[in-house]
Amino acid sequence: MPSDIEIARAATLKPIAQVAERVGIPDEALHNYGKYIAKIDHGFIQSLESRPDGKLILVTAISPTPAGEGKTTTTVGLGDALNRIGKKAVIALREPSLGPCFGMKGGAAGGGRSQVVPMEQINLHFTGDFHAITSAHSLAAALIDNHVYWANELNIDVRRIHWRRVVDMNDRALRAINQSLGGVANGFPREDGFDITVASEVMAVFCLARDLADLEERLGKIVIAETRDRKLVTLKDVKATGAMTVLLKDALQPNLVQTLEGNPALIHGGPFANIAHGCNSVIATRSALKLGEYTVTEAGFGADLGAEKFLDIKCRQAGLKPSAVVIVATVRALKMHGGVDKKSLGSENVEALEKGFANLERHVTNVRNFGLPVVVGVNHFYADTDAEHAKLKELCQSRLGVEAITCKHWAEGGAGAEGLAQAVVKLAEGEQKPLVHAYETEAKLSDKIRAIATKLYGAGDVQIESKAAGKLATFEKDGYGSLPICMAKTQYSFSTDPSLMGAPTGHVIAVRDVRLSAGAGFVVAICGEIMTMPGLPKVPAADTIRLDANGQIDGLF
Amino acid sequence: MPSDIEIARAATLKPIAQVAERVGIPDEALHNYGKYIAKIDHGFIQSLESRPDGKLILVTAISPTPAGEGKTTTTVGLGDALNRIGKKAVIALREPSLGPCFGMKGGAAGGGRSQVVPMEQINLHFTGDFHAITSAHSLAAALIDNHVYWANELNIDVRRIHWRRVVDMNDRALRAINQSLGGVANGFPREDGFDITVASEVMAVFCLARDLADLEERLGKIVIAETRDRKLVTLKDVKATGAMTVLLKDALQPNLVQTLEGNPALIHGGPFANIAHGCNSVIATRSALKLGEYTVTEAGFGADLGAEKFLDIKCRQAGLKPSAVVIVATVRALKMHGGVDKKSLGSENVEALEKGFANLERHVTNVRNFGLPVVVGVNHFYADTDAEHAKLKELCQSRLGVEAITCKHWAEGGAGAEGLAQAVVKLAEGEQKPLVHAYETEAKLSDKIRAIATKLYGAGDVQIESKAAGKLATFEKDGYGSLPICMAKTQYSFSTDPSLMGAPTGHVIAVRDVRLSAGAGFVVAICGEIMTMPGLPKVPAADTIRLDANGQIDGLF
CB within 8 Å of A360: residues ≥ 6 apart: A62, A327, A329, A334, A376, A396
Pairing of strands A461-464, A508-511: parallel
Cβ distance of B132 and A146 shorter than 8 Å? no
Cα B306 to chain centroid, rounded? 7
Q: Is A243 exposed, middle or buried (0-12, 13-18, 19+ CB in 10 A)?
A: buried
Question: CB count, 10 Å around CB of B268?
Answer: 30
Cα distances (Å, whole numbers) of residue B16 to A24, A26, B27, B39, B262: 25, 19, 9, 10, 9
Residue of B nearest to A123 (CA): B247
pLDDT reported for residue A107: 67
Cβ distance of B250 and A125 shorter than 8 Å? yes
Helix (H) or strand (E) holding A82: helix A71-84
pLDDT reported for residue A288: 98
**pLDDT of B185 strictly over 70:** yes
pLDDT tens across B469-482, in order?
A: 999 999 999 999 99
Cβ contacts of A175 on chain B, cutoff 8 Å = 182, 186
- B interface mutation test: which of A104, A148, A177, A533 has the most B CBs within 10 A? A177
Rounded Cα–Cα distance for residues A15 and A23 (Å): 14
Question: CB count, 10 Å around CB of B69?
Answer: 23
Strand-by-strand arrangement of the A232-234 sheet: A156-161, A223-227, A232-234
pLDDT tens across B136-181, in order?
A: 999 999 999 999 999 999 999 999 999 999 999 999 999 999 999 9
Residue B243: which of A102, A139, A178 has the nearest Cβ?
Answer: A102
- ipTM field: 0.96
CB within 8 Å of A459: residues ≥ 6 apart: A453, A494, A495, A505, A506, A507, A508, A509
pLDDT reported for residue A106: 63
Among all residues of A, which ones are annotated catalytic? Answer: 71, 73, 94, 105, 273, 301, 381, 410
Residue B181: which of A132, A149, A176 has the nearest Cβ?
Answer: A176
- Please say if B71 is a catalytic residue: yes
Q: Is B119 helix (H, G, I), strand (E, B) or coil?
A: helix
Q: Is B471 helix (H, G, I), strand (E, B) or coil?
A: helix
CA distance B212 to chain A (A): 9
Residue of A nearest to B177 (CA): A179
pLDDT tens across B338-350, in order?
A: 999 999 999 999 9
Residue A373 counted as an annotated binding residue? no
Residue whose C-alpha is closest to residue B517's, from B281, B304, B228, B202: B202
pLDDT reported for residue B16: 97
Rounded percentage of chain A residues whose pLDDT exceeds 70: 99
Regions of chain A with pLDDT less than 70: 105-107
Cβ contacts of B169 on chain A, cutoff 8 Å = 135, 138-139, 141-142
Rounded Cα–Cα distance for residues A172 and B52 (Å): 50
Residue B150: which of A186, A538, A545 has the nearest Cβ?
Answer: A538
Rounded Cα–Cα distance for residues B471 and B473 (Å): 5
Cβ contacts of A142 on chain B, cutoff 8 Å = 102, 169-171, 173, 536
Residue A68 counted as an annotated binding residue? yes
pLDDT tens across B381-398, in order?
A: 999 999 999 999 999 999
Cβ contacts of A202 on chain B, cutoff 8 Å = none
Rounded Cα–Cα distance for residues B120 and B36 (Å): 12
Give me the mean pLDDT over the B320-335 stretch.
97
pLDDT tens across A446-477, in order?
A: 999 999 999 999 999 999 999 999 999 999 99
Rounded Cα–Cα distance for residues B494 and B63 (Å): 8
pLDDT tens across B213-232, in order?
A: 999 999 999 999 999 999 99
Residue B181: which of A135, A177, A546 has the nearest Cβ?
Answer: A177
First to last CA, chain B: 15
pLDDT reported for residue B107: 67
pLDDT reported for residue B105: 67
Cβ distance of B146 and A536 shorter than 8 Å? yes
Residue whose C-alpha is closest to residue B267's, from B259, B198, B103, B377: B259
Residue A6 counted as an annotated binding residue? no
pLDDT tens across A401-432, in order?
A: 999 999 999 999 999 999 999 999 999 999 99
pLDDT reported for residue A66: 84
Exposure string (b/e) for B343-364, b if CB count within 10 Å is 16 or more?
eebeebbbebbbbbbbbbbbbb
Helix (H) or strand (E) holding A290: helix A282-291
Cβ contacts of B548 on chain A, cutoff 8 Å = none
Residue of B nearest to A33 (CA): B33
- A interface mutation test: which of B104, B174, B238 has the most A CBs within 10 A? B174
- The mean pLDDT value of chain B amounts to 96
Q: Is B442 exposed, middle or buried (0-12, 13-18, 19+ CB in 10 A)?
A: exposed
Cβ contacts of A177 on chain B, cutoff 8 Å = 177-179, 181
